[in-house]
Amino acid sequence: MCALEAVALALLAITAGEPQTDPPRLLPVGPLPARVVHAFDLTASDLDLRLAATTLQGQVNRDEGRVYLFYNDPERGTARFWLDELKRKGYIDDFDIDAMDAYFARYAPETDRVIVYDPAVPDTINVATMIASVEGGMVIAPAHIDRFGGGKEVVDLRGRWSDGVAAYAWAFDTLWPRMNPRVLASLHPTHARHQLRDYLVRNRIFTFYIPAPDADPALTERGKALMAEVFRAAGPNTPVIGWWDGGHLDAGLTEYGGVGWAGRFGMLTVGSNWQDNASLLSGIPAPLDAIAQRFRERPTPATPALEPDKVYVCFAIMESGDAPSYWPHVQKSVWDDPQRGAIPIAWTLNPLLFEFLPSVGEWFVEQAGPNDCFIMAISGPGYVHPYRDFMADAADPEAAWRDYLHLTGGYMQRWGLPDLALYTDAWLPFDRARQDPVTRRFTQGLPGLRMLILGMGRDDAITETSPHYELDGVFVSHIFTRWDAANIGRGAENNRWLADEIRKRTPPERPGFMFVHPLSWSYHPSDLVAVMELLGDDYVAVGPASLMQLWKTAENDKETTR
């Protein structure tokens, strides 16, 4: 949020009351950290050693956050930064850094079981992770039995199942009653270097992966049928952490396919497959009530006076902010840009960041300036596609919708986020006659809602019809621009492309008002400053609240002159 935020928050308090004394929470609380944390360098370790190390970390950190692992050079990157932050803030007294051999020598004896995955069925890595989560132990490759299995129980999964779906079916039948029924994980067996597995082990999270249908469509359908059973057992509004896509290894159901299909059952995607050390970071005792209050009270700039010949542009980063694991890695580098704060930028934020990585969220709140504007992420506390049969396959779709809106409203209220981003349907036509009933679920079901920003890129024909309107007293505005899908990356060429796209989509009448979506991977603050310079003085960058207020002023001016 940016301009007029004080007024908006006052209205929000009147309509929705003060933030809840019992705030919503979707993700499990981690253990408190040890006063001295032992960090170890995995940089030179192969994938199988990382698997052993990370699943062992989940056991070691089960009751106290003692171990922190570096997946890259500890003197570079962001992992060391966040460990230093824990010490700076007093959440730990100190830490030391040692090599992996020292890690295994010190902590492997704490487990009395190893679970050996089957290289012929890679999905057994996920099943072994689940076994470790409920029975204890670390997950290893067959080649490491001699190194880690001496004197321990060896649970050998080789040859037990013909494919991954059969293995997951066994896990559902056998392990589900002892697992956390309110969190699931979709994770390719070897993608993302096993970084999330400490959190999966520590929190007993059912972990699966549905492969892409190109190799074996029947296997994919069997996987979906099984997971539909799991989804029904978990119930709607259950977060699915990890990710649906295994990158070049296996596209899985893809982002679009996985989020949409799981959403039919009410599953909420929480992008987190690349997050490391979550078993420790999730337990940092950051004062969330005080952080939330500070976030609600952050300073904001004034709305500029309306000039009749200007085009007002709001840069809204619609994607990526929904994924907690984006913030400590990519978003940290984005916020280090020296031009951040030069112009207003609206960042979408999923408040689950404060549950998953509380100290990371605290740092961003501390760093936020007046021109760092925030919108509730797309499309609530989990990434969902509300216009694509969301909740259609839930046991009671209407009850599931009500619970989702109550949950979303609770997070928006707690964090002072009266503006919400909504995913529409991947640049397809937006037919208000067909889709307004879904939009009205939000305008009528979220007390204190001020604004909806629709689209993750321009929907067909929307800018030629009704890009701005009010629905039940809520301002609704659609994204005007797309992105250059053939050239994802930073640079002068992409800056020129976006400036040209903005000019092409600029409404003909003045004053004009545009929500622009710059793809997070292609535009940092300095890039958007460059885009504004390319556009020239006819265009003015504003925050979302300012754009809304200026549009309303212009509409009122039209009424008075009629």
User: Per-residue pLDDT averaged across 246-264, rounded?
Assistant: 96
- Write down the number of H helices and E strands in the chain: 21, 19
Homologous superfamily of 5-24+282-561: GxGYxYP glycoside hydrolase, C-terminal domain (3.20.20.490)
**Which secondary-structure segment (H or E) carries 314?**
strand 311-317
Q: Do 538 and 507 meet the contact criterion of CB atoms below 8 Å apart?
A: no
Q: Do 334 and 520 meet the contact criterion of CB atoms below 8 Å apart?
A: yes
Q: What pLDDT sits at residue 10?
A: 33
User: Per-residue pLDDT averaged across 369-387, rounded?
Assistant: 97
User: Per-residue pLDDT averaged across 308-337, rounded?
Assistant: 96
Tokens of 238: 């259950």
What is the rounded distance in angstroms from the CA atom of residue 288 to the CA atom of residue 357? Answer: 11
Q: What pLDDT sits at residue 13?
A: 33
pTM, rounded to two decimals: 0.94
Q: What pLDDT sits at residue 354?
A: 97
Q: What pLDDT sits at residue 9?
A: 33
User: Per-residue pLDDT averaged across 278-304, rounded?
Assistant: 94
User: Per-residue pLDDT averaged across 382-388, rounded?
Assistant: 97
User: Per-residue pLDDT averaged across 300-316, rounded?
Assistant: 94
Greater model confidence, 269 or 465:
269
User: Per-residue pLDDT averaged across 302-306, rounded?
Assistant: 94
499-537 pLDDT, tens digit each: 999 999 999 999 999 999 999 999 999 999 999 999 999
Tokens of 424: 């529409």
Q: Do 232 and 265 meet the contact criterion of CB atoms below 8 Å apart?
A: yes
Q: What pLDDT sits at residue 22?
A: 65
Query: Is the Cα dihedral 527, 529, 533, 534 positive or negative?
Result: positive
The answer to whether residue 92 scores a pLDDT higher than 60 is: yes
Q: Parse the chain into domains and list their residue ranges.
A: 5-24+282-561, 33-281
Closest CA to 270 of 211, 195, 350, 202: 350
Q: What pLDDT sits at residue 21?
A: 39
Kindly report the average pLDDT of the chain as a whole number. 93
CB atoms within 10 A of CB 338: 8
The answer to whether residue 24 scores a pLDDT higher than 50 is: yes
The answer to whether residue 6 scores a pLDDT higher than 80 is: no
